[in-house]
Amino acid sequence: MKKIFVFTVLCLVLAGCAPAASVSGPTLGTSPSPAPATPSPVIGVPNLDHIVLIMLENRDYKTVIGPDSQMPLLNALAQQEVLLSNYFAVSHPSLPNYISLVSGSTQGITSDCTACFVNQPNLADLIEASGRTWKSYEESMPSPCFIGDANPYAQKHDPFLYFDSIRLNAARCNQSIVPLTALDGDLANNQLPNFSFIMPNLCNSGHDCSASTADKWVTDMVAKLQASPALGINSLIIIAFDEGSDKSIAGCCGLGSPAGGQVAVVLVSPTTLPEFTDNTPYSHFSLLKTILTAWNLPALGMTSQDSIQTITAPWTGILGRSTANEPVGVSIPSAPNGNPILLHFQPGN
């Protein structure tokens, strides 16, 4: 399917870029043939039906990708699919990175606190406002919307729970922040939400256990998702690491110093170019901006900045595309009480 998709894209590009043949004009007594319509090339992130974000923990890029990889299964998947080879985490420790991934800002959080709740707009708010659905699937979570730690479940790896608009709405929280065991039923019933956040527990994420444990877990999860008709072909699976090791402080793209280190991100999709490496500088803010762009949602935090690149090369094949002058949504207005005013969109707009 991916090869057919890529062939089609190349045909469209070649058709749109080929020089026009010279002609001497129409023959007397005949009407000139109408000019053929020029096909529209793929110009960016498609309007995906399903986006799945799977998070792993605390591995530097060089330990995941390359001949000495500690995660050979994921390394092989990166070679077959799309590898973002110049991607950086925002900060240390874990929680600021997770909060940034879903809100475009660390929200001033600098630790793995469990009571540092925030009243700010987030990705889930915008997804719901657009008429789409979402769920956070948390492995080893004792019950839906559980507050606190319950080893091997850790609240710091459950970012949506930190937002007042979700946590304080019991019905919404219980429906959308659920144990990972709920995923099998949703797949079987063809009820996979438009956006899925999948978080393994402290062992399977690689936080407390070996890289090989996380390697097998994540590749098994990808295989399960791909085997389900609920995912569909107009879909994207993202495998990302929250941060590098404690000693990794490299960054890019205006993150400042120290940042969270270089980490590997792998995109798995029938819609992307196969065996493709994108060396454009990206960060967690870029990943969020790409999800917002796919669904034409308003900007969140740093995603409004031109310096934050949208990830488009895996679809266009054009590396290092500038985001200058590219519309990325609008700021979210606030009511007098400081709460965000949610903007409503039609799905697919």
Residue indicated by tokens 């500088």? 281
Work out the pLDDT band at 22, boundaries 50, 70, 90.
Answer: very low
Q: Are 236 and 45 in contact (CB under 8 A)?
A: no
SS3 166: helix
**Is residue 37 scored above 80 in pLDDT?**
no
What distance in Å separates the CA atoms of residue 72 and residue 65, rounded to the nearest whole number? 8
Distances (CA, A) of 210 to 57, 257, 276: 11, 29, 28
Per 3-state DSSP, the chain is made up of helix, strand and coil in percentages (nearest 5) of 30, 15, 55
Cα of first residue to Cα of last residue in the chain, in angstroms, is: 26
pLDDT in tens, 252-296: 887 877 888 999 999 999 999 999 999 999 999 999 999 999 999
pLDDT of residue 328: 32
Percentage of the chain modeled with pLDDT above 70: 79
Task: Report DSSP letters for 263-326, one per residue.
Answer: EEEEEE-TTSPTTEEE-S-EEHHHHHHHHHHHTTPPP-GGGGSTTS----HHHH--TT---TT-
Sequence-ordered alpha helix ranges (H) in 168-279: 170-176, 182-188, 211-227
Domain ranges in the chain are: 50-316
Mean pLDDT of 222-226: 98
Whole-prediction pTM: 0.81
**50-316, what's its fold?**
Alkaline Phosphatase, subunit A (3.40.720)
pLDDT in tens, 117-169: 999 999 999 999 999 999 999 999 999 999 999 999 999 999 999 999 999 99
What distance in Å separates the CA atoms of residue 195 and residue 180, rounded to the nearest whole number? 14
> How many angstroms from the chain centroid is the CA of residue 204?
20
pLDDT of residue 260: 84
The closest of 160, 163, 167 to 193, measured between CA atoms, is 160
